[in-house]
């Protein structure tokens, strides 16, 4: 396990690269980093897919002795990272197979029209036994269940450019197209050759007092296993 820099003190989190809007959900990252540390060794290679300069600085501060590869479709969002890779990773990447020890996909999959493609590709570039960490909103959150019960639209699923039918009025959407429940995400990943071994619920805005399946968001830890048993449709 890699030695992780102290991240429990206030100064680690409350700084210009975090509080200025570079990452969504400080509570999410506070739960993710300690578990991520268990799977990183000195000189491990971490693929931060959909990452930004902000997430790079956070990972670099937490894990100073690992290699961080920042991948984004917009070059300006990863400007200043150690290793910048600008490409449409939602379709295919230029990385060799078995390249990464750990892959992090933080609040990205919900924006994709065809999430299957990226999961297949990330499994290819992840080493056998490598760890895949994904964070994303939970379609079956308590807020969404409450909304649907009274005929309102889910808060984190946006089929249009605008959020219509929401409890919170008409607002511009966040382009969330592929939002999973936690059981659905587990089945989805395991169908493509991953073995989910950790499921964590979190709130983007503060402490989470809800059971995992009712939480606002999910953090999923999965291992890349060799045998793939895809279900036939």
Could you read off the pLDDT of 90-130 as tens digits, one per residue?
Answer: 888 999 999 999 999 999 999 999 999 999 999 999 999 99
Place of tokens 């300690």: 34
What's the CATH architecture for 10-138+180-224? 3-Layer(aba) Sandwich (3.40)
The whole-number pLDDT of residue 85 equals: 97
| 217 in Cβ contact with 42 (< 8 Å) | no
The whole-number pLDDT of residue 174 equals: 80
Q: How far is CA 45 from CA 18, 83, 130, in A?
A: 23, 11, 10
The whole-number pLDDT of residue 160 equals: 86
Q: How many CB atoms lie within 10 A of CB 81?
A: 22
- In tens, the pLDDT along 53-94 reads 989 988 998 899 999 999 999 999 999 999 999 999 988 899
């Amino acid at each position: 396990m890699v030695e992780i820099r102290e991240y429990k003190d206030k100064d680690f989190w409350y700084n210009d690269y975090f509080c200025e809007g570079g990452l969504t959900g400080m509570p999410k990252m506070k739960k993710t980093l300690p578990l991520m540390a268990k799977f990183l060794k000195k000189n491990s290679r971490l693929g931060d897919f959909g990452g930004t300069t902000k997430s790079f600085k956070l990972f670099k501060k937490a894990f100073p002795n690992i290699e961080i590869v920042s991948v984004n479709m917009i070059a300006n969002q990863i400007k200043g990272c150690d290793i910048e890779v600008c490409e449409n990773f939602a379709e295919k990447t230029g990385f060799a197979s078995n390249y990464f020890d750990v892959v992090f996909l933080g609040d990205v999959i919900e924006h994709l029209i065809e999430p299957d493609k990226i999961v297949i590709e990330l499994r290819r570039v992840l080493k056998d036994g490598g760890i895949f960490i994904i964070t994303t909103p939970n379609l079956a959150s308590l807020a969404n269940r409450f909304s649907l019960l009274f005929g309102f639209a889910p808060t984190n699923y946006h089929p249009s450019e605008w959020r219509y039918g929401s409890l919170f009025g008409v607002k511009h959407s966040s382009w969330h197209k592929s939002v999973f429940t936690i059981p659905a995400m587990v089945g989805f990943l395991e169908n493509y050759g991953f073995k989910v071994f950790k499921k964590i619920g979190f709130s983007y805005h503060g402490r989470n007092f809800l059971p995992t399946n009712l939480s606002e968001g999910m953090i999923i830890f999965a291992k890349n296993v060799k045998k793939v048993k895809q279900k036939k449709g």
